């Protein structure tokens, strides 16, 4: 073999290695836009509460994108802008969303993450068959007609749907419904965290968590000493720790320095900020302490979406064309619920490191005050979840 063919073979191998890591530019663009939407939604929801926050923007973006195909005119334009999808062709979006979903929800992530979206039109409305097909095929969702004039039956139908789509991890999404309801959008997600390497349960011990100036909670604090990816955001005065999982996802834990208010950090979060944090991560030896926690959060999002300028779908003169033959059909509410448990659970029987013998004692990062987190799929940097833990003893 000549030297030049050998070199070109090496070149080929390098090219194929590189391309296995890159994502199609149009899918990367959609993932980035979804991350922008995720951060804006997070800011909108978190600015109105001091409690824990937990959202699955990935599923919500899918659900709202599925409404694009039902809308037209200025209602559709506004929805596109609200989802950070302005400039994209609404006709080609369903296939793009489907491709991104296929890229993200594969392998063990599809086992750990159970999620779904559904539209629930009133029984009297006629849904166009092509729209029904689009919801199922491109968005992996459901469209189920509901008789809202029989409230108990309507509630049961929606709650059964959420049980089926979250492996029974969520039992109840709605408690009471308005008999006048025309159309609801429901999105739900349940996630099983599997850190890799996992925390070793025999090293977990009760420690203090400083909820605010006046409240201390005693929480089971997990421990791990290993090499971690870490960054520090100087402008925001916050540390960023990456905790990888066994399913291709990872959690970024964003911990403001002591004395820095978490809301000051939250106000600056956007899609580009999240990407910058990921780019700046550097490997370092570290001891990490993270509280165990369980989040279960339920939202009606009409008001939060209004802050993102998504208003027209909720108005009497909404251009909702593909559901119903009547004019003046509007979306009544968007329901969103997610659950997640963060603990030492592992699928790997050999896992559970913990105490590595480092020659010098590494620094320790103790997550013992309010923090935010972003869970993302690593190849596409798709934001799956965003949340805030102010008190790990609360859901």
Ligand X SMILES: *[C@@H]1O[C@H](CO)[C@@H](O)[C@H](O)[C@H]1NC(C)=O
Q: What is the binding site for ligand X (CB under 6 A)?
A: 200, 202-203, 308-309, 352-355
Instruction: Compute the least distance from the CB of residue 82 to ligand X, in Å.
Output: 7
> Among residues 309, 314, 319, 311, which one has the least CA distance to residue 72?
319
Q: Which is nearer to ligand X, 33 or 337 (CB)?
A: 33
Alpha helices, DSSP H, located in the chain: 3-21, 25-46, 57-68, 73-82, 93-104, 109-112, 129-137, 151-165, 262-266, 271-280, 302-307
Residue length of the chain? 395
Q: Which is nearer to ligand X, 43 or 337 (CB)?
A: 43
Instruction: Compute the least distance from the CB of residue 175 to ligand X, in Å.
Output: 30
d(CA 253, CA 371): 7
Q: Which is nearer to ligand X, 200 or 380 (CB)?
A: 200
Which single residue brings its beta carbon nearest to ligand X?
Answer: 352
Q: Which is nearer to ligand X, 35 or 154 (CB)?
A: 35
Q: Which is nearer to ligand X, 71 or 200 (CB)?
A: 200
Instruction: Compute the least distance from the CB of residue 351 to ligand X, in Å.
Output: 7
Instruction: Compute the least distance from the CB of residue 307 to ligand X, in Å.
Output: 6
Q: Which is nearer to ligand X, 80 or 339 (CB)?
A: 80
Cis amide linkage into residue 149, ω under 30° from 0: no
Instruction: Compute the least distance from the CB of residue 262 to ligand X, in Å.
Output: 21
Residue whose token pair is 């408690």: 175
Contact indicator for 63, 124 with CB cutoff of 8 Å? no
Our CA angle for 119, 122, 124, nearest 5°, is 135
Instruction: Compute the least distance from the CB of residue 44 to ligand X, in Å.
Output: 8
**Residue 364: its H or E element:** strand 364-366
d(CA 145, CA 370): 42
């Amino acid at each position: 073999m000549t030297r030049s063919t050998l070199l070109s073979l090496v070149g080929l191998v390098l090219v194929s290695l590189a391309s296995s890591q890159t994502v199609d530019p149009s899918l990367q663009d959609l993932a980035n836009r979804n991350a922008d939407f995720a951060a804006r939604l997070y800011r909108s929801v978190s600015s109105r509460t001091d409690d824990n926050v937990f959202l699955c923007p990935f599923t919500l973006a899918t659900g709202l994108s599925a409404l694009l195909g039902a809308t037209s005119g200025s209602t559709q334009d506004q929805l596109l802008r609200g989802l950070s999808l302005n400039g994209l062709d609404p006709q080609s979006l369903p296939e793009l969303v489907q491709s991104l979903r296929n890229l993200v929800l594969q392998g063990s992530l599809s086992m750990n993450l159970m999620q779904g979206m559904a539209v629930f039109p009133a029984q009297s409305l006629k849904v166009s068959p092509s729209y029904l097909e689009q919801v199922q095929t491109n968005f992996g969702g459901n469209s189920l007609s509901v008789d809202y004039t029989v409230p108990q039956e309507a509630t049961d139908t929606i709650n059964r749907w959420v049980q089926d789509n979250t492996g029974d991890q969520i039992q109840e999404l709605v408690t009471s419904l308005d008999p006048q309801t025309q159309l609801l959008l429901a999105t739900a997600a349940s996630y099983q965290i599997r850190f890799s390497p996992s925390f070793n349960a025999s090293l977990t011990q009760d420690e203090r968590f400083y909820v605010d100036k006046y409240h201390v909670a005693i929480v089971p604090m997990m421990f791990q000493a290993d090499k971690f990816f870490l960054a520090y955001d100087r402008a925001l005065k916050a540390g960023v720790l990456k905790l990888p999982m066994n399913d291709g996802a990872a959690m970024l834990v964003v911990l403001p320095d002591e004395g820095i208010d978490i809301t000051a950090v939250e106000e600056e979060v956007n899609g580009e900020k999240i990407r910058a944090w990921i780019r700046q991560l550097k490997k370092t030896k570290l001891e990490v302490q993270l509280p165990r926690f369980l989040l279960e959060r339920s939202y009606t999002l009409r008001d939060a979406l209004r802050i993102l300028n998504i208003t027209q779908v909720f108005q009497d003169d909404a251009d909702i064309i593909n559901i119903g033959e009547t004019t003046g059909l509007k979306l009544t509410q968007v329901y969103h619920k997610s659950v997640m448990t963060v603990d030492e659970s592992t699928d790997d029987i050999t896992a559970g490191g913990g105490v590595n013998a480092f020659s010098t004692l590494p620094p320790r990062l103790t997550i013992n005050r309010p923090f935010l987190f972003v869970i993302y799929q690593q190849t596409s940097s798709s934001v799956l979840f965003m949340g805030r833990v102010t008190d790990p003893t609360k859901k």
